[in-house]
Structure 1
Amino acid sequence: MRVRDLTPDDYVPYRSLTADAFGGTWEDTGPRPFDPGQTAVGIDSAGLPGGVDGVLAAGARIRHDRLALGGGVARSGGIGGLAVHPAHRGGGVFRTLLTGVIARCAEESMAVSMLYPSNPSIYRRCGYQVVARGQRLIVPLVDLQRLPPVPGRHLVPVTAATLPRLHAVYRELTAGDNGMLLREGPLFEQGMPGGGWSALLLQDEAGTDHGYLSWTRSGGEGPGLQVHEILGRTREDRLALLRSLGSWSTVVEEATLRLRTEDPVLDALPGGGARPAPGPVPLVMMRVIDTAATLEARRAPASLRGTIRLVVEDDTVPPGTCRAAGRWLLTAADGRITATPEDTDGDAAELVLGTARLDVHAASLLLVGGRTLADARRLDLGAVADPSAERFLDELLAGPRPSVLDSF
């Protein structure tokens, strides 16, 4: 089985494959290019047992995203629309396709790969690890209505003219997070979203933006206000945005808030009436594609200096599929991180503080940030280190636990 790039002639077979796998309808417009900002790959049915020409045995799309990571930015391959034809399931096609996807991410110089699994175990076999869980909270709006006004703040409607300011605030306020997508074109349209989306900017008296609130007003059963994001510079800013949300209490009793991991909004919520939203908890899985690139995309704490030996082992894909496995001399100095293949710098080996050895699942968990080697061991992942190397890595990779608000 060979994994190849899909062409405009494959667009209809691929849409047919994914519609059958995920449901929904689509209009057959004939051959057309795949959307910009992504690479589509697949496996032909012809040549497989029971295969026919013009049918895809499997296919997937790789998004070319960038995400915030440890104060820096890393390239990410977001995997979407991965499907296997019912006639070819159970014969190794899925593993072959996913291995090819990982290899293509490496060819595209991506540091990590991200996906949203319906069945985590099948992706885990190829080195992906759960790093985050989506969070939604139902909040009684009457609790927010009682919040006092915040002096020196007022609200500005978001229009096509003010939308670039919202984008700028988003990137600024999520730059210190781990895992948040930068929401750049062409994968993210830069114009006003449709579907009833609305937003307000929070501004001070000098015209500086301090945050925003975005939502969709929906009908039907359940909370009628879906709050996408509440981002503010300070706790006072978040209180001002929550108070604005409370103004809906005359027409809506509750709102569903989408939250980041350990979201600062939780500290500003008044009252004790909030409760988790019902339904499945969305999972986010990531995989290290290039260990050195992932580490060097981050920023080191200014006070951290030293070198350790880092060994990453990956037996989930054939050797050479990607650049996750290897041995590096990992150095932090002056706020920068360098990861040098050990066999190219033998002299520096004498200066190492110690050695850390990770399997690919531990590396995928830890290098995204916000977790310790002790956390990895609690999950029964391979994370063994000398005490000095463990302290070094824990400090290097500290930060908020990963959050991902976008899905695909």
Structure 2
Amino acid sequence: MPVRDLTTEDFLAYKTVSAGAFSGFFDPSAPGAPQGFSPAETALGIDAATLPGGLEGVIAAGARIRHDRLALGGGTARCGGIAGLAVHPAHRGDGLFGTLLTEVLARCRDERMALSMLYPSNPAIYRRFGYQVVARGQSLIVPLVDLQRIPAVPGRRLVPVTAETMPRLRELYHRLSAGDNAMLRREGPLFPEELPGGGWSALLLVDEDGADRGYVSWTRRADAADGVGLEVHELFGRSREDRLALLRSLGSWSTVTELIRLRLRTEDPVLDVLPGGGARPDPRPVPLVMMRVIDTAATLRARRAPAGLAGAVRLVVEDATVPAGTCAAAGTFLVTAAEGALTAVPAAGNRAERGSGAEPEAGAAEASLGTARLDIHAASLLLVGGRTLADARRLGLSAEADPAAEGFLDTLLAGPRPSVLDAF
């Protein structure tokens, strides 16, 4: 069952399979319906005609790899976002899922992606291939009566987001999410420059000097059965006062609705200024985000070392979830931090899987280094940031280290827990 690149000629057959699995139907004549794969995607599939009893012109299994970048430890890393992975109902149970996903991971390696990300409906099947849950979507139902009590913030005013002011919002997003872990950088062509459609609206918050301080974006919901009249997608502010001013602006919607749904980052600073005790968890299912290390050295090199951290550790990553050579995650790596710089290279004599783009380190006095040993699930959890080796062990993952090595890695990988506000 050979896996091949899909082309524009395969697009309708692929969308028929993927839409049937996820949304039910794809109408290519509908306004705005895509007519082909994005130039920032790699599409892979298996022809049904290569399988027993398969028909010509049918895609038995297919998936798309998005070429994204995400924020990571103060830097950025390339990430393969896996979307629309589906198997035709006529060919389920024949092992196509594993064959296709293994080739997807190998292609991520070949295209120099450090990490892979996906949103699972069934986490267990992806975990078998090394993916680990790293984040959960968070939303609160907030009564607007709570927000009406917020006093006015002096020196702040609101500006509509239009085609002219949208670049300012994008710049704010880049600046205010740069210190997070796993937030997509939202770059073209996957993220177009124009205003989002579908009723999306937003306001910029500016100070007395005209400097941008934050923004809030939302979609109005008419006749919502659950009483939630406003979906608030994002609320970002430079300071507590900015976030209070933006929350106060949402209180003005109380004339048309009583409740809003406020989407949050993990440990969102908005939680520290949200007034009142009326907010409650969103009752809808919690979306999961899974990630997997594709290239250990590249993932580490994408980060910046914390100021004042100096030292080195031998990091051993074990990966028995995919055939050897599929990824560049497994192996032994020499990780060094000094003066804010971070290096990660295969250790001398290491048989690290190909793809890291680094040559083996030779001649270092490696016998004196502390050692940490992680399985692929612990590595995928920890290298995205915001967790300690002890956290990984609490989850039943394999994460063992000498005391000095554990302290080094915990410091190196510290930071906010991963947040993802985009879905695909």
**TM-score, normalization by structure 1:** 0.98
Q: 2:3 corresponds to which residue?
A: 3
The answer as to 2:279 corresponding to 1:283 is no
CA distance in 1, matches of 2:128, 2:334: 28
Distance 1:261 1:352, change over 3 A: farther
Secondary structure of 1:224 counterpart: strand
State how many pairs are aligned.
408
Cα distance, 1:203 vs. partner?
Answer: 0.4
CA distance in 2, matches of 1:13, 1:274: 45
1:128-182 deviation per Cα after TM superposition (whole angstroms, max 9, x unaligned): 0000000010001011111111111111111110000000000000000000001
After the TM superposition, which residues 256-267 of structure 1 pair with which residues of structure 2 at under 5 Å, given as runs?
256-267=261-272
1:145 to 145, 148, 152: 148
CA distance in 2, matches of 1:345, 1:405: 38
| Percentage of pairs with the same residue | 72
1:100-148 deviation per Cα after TM superposition (whole angstroms, max 9, x unaligned): 0000101111000000000000000000000000001000101111111
The answer as to 2:170 corresponding to 1:154 is no
1:235-293 deviation per Cα after TM superposition (whole angstroms, max 9, x unaligned): 11100100111111122111000000000000000010000111110000000000000
Q: 1:19 corresponds to which residue?
A: 19
CA distance in 2, matches of 1:188, 1:71: 22
Q: 1:131 corresponds to which residue?
A: 134
Cα distance, 1:49 vs. partner?
Answer: 2.3
CA distance in 2, matches of 1:148, 1:98: 53
The answer as to 2:412 corresponding to 1:407 is no
Secondary structure of 2:365 counterpart: helix
After the TM superposition, which residues 262-341 of structure 1 pair with which residues of structure 2 at under 5 Å, given as runs?
262-341=267-346
Q: 1:50 corresponds to which residue?
A: 53
CA distance in 1, matches of 2:321, 2:367: 32
The answer as to 2:126 corresponding to 1:110 is no
Amino acid of the residue matched to residue 149 of structure 2? Answer: R
Asked if structure 1 preserves the Cα contact closer than 8 Å seen for 2:314 and 2:366, the reply is no
The answer as to 2:398 corresponding to 1:382 is yes
Q: 2:72 corresponds to which residue?
A: 69
After the TM superposition, which residues 88-107 of structure 1 pair with which residues of structure 2 at under 5 Å, given as runs?
88-107=91-110
The answer as to 2:395 corresponding to 1:395 is no
Asked if structure 1 preserves the Cα contact closer than 8 Å seen for 2:28 and 2:35, the reply is no
Amino acid of the residue matched to residue 367 of structure 1? Answer: L
Q: 2:357 corresponds to which residue?
A: none
Secondary structure of 1:169 counterpart: helix
The answer as to 2:253 corresponding to 1:241 is no
Secondary structure of 2:181 counterpart: coil
CA distance in 2, matches of 1:32, 1:6: 14
CA distance in 2, matches of 1:45, 1:136: 41
Amino acid of the residue matched to residue 255 of structure 1? Answer: I
CA distance in 1, matches of 2:160, 2:12: 41
1:198-229 deviation per Cα after TM superposition (whole angstroms, max 9, x unaligned): 11101011111010011111112120110000
2:187 to 160, 184, 191: 184
1:212 to 204, 215, 237: 215
CA distance in 2, matches of 1:273, 1:185: 39
Distance 1:130 1:151, change over 3 A: same
Amino acid of the residue matched to residue 27 of structure 1? Answer: D
CA distance in 2, matches of 1:349, 1:121: 41
Asked if structure 1 preserves the Cα contact closer than 8 Å seen for 2:16 and 2:25, the reply is no
1:67-99 deviation per Cα after TM superposition (whole angstroms, max 9, x unaligned): 000000000000001000111111211001000
Asked if structure 2 preserves the Cα contact closer than 8 Å seen for 1:9 and 1:32, the reply is no
The answer as to 2:38 corresponding to 1:41 is no
Cα distance, 1:351 vs. partner?
Answer: 7.0
The answer as to 2:359 corresponding to 1:354 is no
Cα distance, 1:3 vs. partner?
Answer: 1.4
Secondary structure of 1:143 counterpart: helix
Amino acid of the residue matched to residue 415 of structure 2? Answer: G
Amino acid of the residue matched to residue 328 of structure 1? Answer: F
**Structure 2 gap ranges (5+):** 349-359
After the TM superposition, which residues 366-381 of structure 1 pair with which residues of structure 2 at under 5 Å, given as runs?
366-381=382-397
Secondary structure of 1:348 counterpart: coil
Asked if structure 2 preserves the Cα contact closer than 8 Å seen for 1:128 and 1:285, the reply is yes
Cα distance, 1:32 vs. partner?
Answer: 5.7
Asked if structure 1 preserves the Cα contact closer than 8 Å seen for 2:2 and 2:50, the reply is no
**Structure 1 gap ranges (5+):** none
Asked if structure 1 preserves the Cα contact closer than 8 Å seen for 2:14 and 2:62, the reply is yes
**TM-score, normalization by structure 2:** 0.94
Q: Which runs of 4+ in 1 moved over 3 A?
A: 349-353
